[in-house]
Amino acid sequence: MALPFVRMPLVFRKLCRKREILQQIGEAIALAFGLLLAADADLLEIVTLSLYVSLSATSIACILGLPLGAILAVTRFPGRGPVLVLINALMGLPPVVVGLIVYLHLSRSGPLGFLGLLYTPTAMIIAQTILIAPIVVALSRQVLEDLHLEYAEQFRSLALSARQVIQALLWDGRFALFTVALAGFGRAVAEVGAVMIVGGNIDHLTRVMTTAITLETSRGNLPLALALGIVLLALAMAVTAAVHGLRAGTAGQADA
């Protein structure tokens, strides 16, 4: 009989804690909507910078990574296996390590220090590009290799050059490659370690969603941190939905 009385305060505390968390989440959602509806200038600045940095990094990674993935998909050369293993391994690059390496190169004493890029959005774009390029290369290689398996004999029959084959694969695989780009964007927009190190989380200059969330959490401003998290989530979902909509709208024209 004594046990329930002993346990009651613990249960009560847990219930109170749960209620507190729910309250904070409720506050966070309300705050997130409030910030968005009020078109808070600081929030818009952070969102804009986040999109600018991550979309730029995704674009550069795709420009470099998609052709490289296509080349790896259609060519056979000695050492190709280890190259593929390396690229697949680089998909799991820790952001802080990338940030540190970029930092070392861009710092004043580094080989690229003369460019003065440290703690600028450009440095953040460089770091995120390095982070997601292996993802773009590895996933596009897989997508295009599967496509090439289907087309290879027909392309050989048509006596196409390697360049023509790669161009055709990139075009015909464009809808699947959208998803590859999305995977890259998702990784870029969600990472915090690399941009924190090379960007420095400077207000009105290099503060992005993830670094802002980290800052507010460390300050103990959990509702604001959660609100920013909700905005970040909504942002990622909006970009994904936009690409999905674009894909659905055009896929019918080509039968992906």
Partner 1 sequence: MPECAGENGAAGTRASRIEVRALAYDVAEARLIDVPTLTLGPTGTTVVMGPNGAGKSLLLRLMHGLIRPSAGEILVGGEPLSPAQCKAQALVFQKPVLLRRSVAANIDFVLKARGKDRSRCHDLLDRVGLASLADRPARRLSGGEQQRLAITRALATEPDTLFLDEPTASLDPESVQAIEGIVAAAAREGVRIIFVTHDIQQARRLADDVVFLSKGRVVEEALADAFFSGPETDVARAYLSGHLDRLLET
Interface residue list for partner 1 (CB under 8 A): 150-151, 153-154, 156-160, 164, 168, 171-172, 252-256
CA distances from 227 to 18, 188, 232, 234, 238 (A): 18, 20, 9, 11, 16
Residue closer to partner 1 by CB (options 202, 251) is 251
* Residue 66 or 209 with smaller CB distance to partner 1: 66
3-state secondary structure at position 56: helix
Tokens of 179: 């998803």
In whole angstroms, the minimum distance from the beta carbon of 141 to partner 1 comes to: 19
Shortest Cβ 251–partner 1 spacing (Å): 9
Q: Closer to partner 1 at the Cβ: 8 or 251? A: 251
| CB closer to partner 1, 48 vs 154 | 154
Question: DSSP class of residue 76?
Answer: -
Rg (CA), the chain: 23
* 176 vs 235, beta carbon nearer partner 1: 176
Q: Which helix (H) or strand (E) holds 38?
A: none
Q: Is residue 191 classed as helix, strand or coil in its secondary structure?
A: coil
CB of 185 to partner 1, least distance (A): 23
In the complex, minimum distance from the CB of residue 254 to partner 1, in angstroms, rounded to a whole number: 5
CB of 157 to partner 1, least distance (A): 5
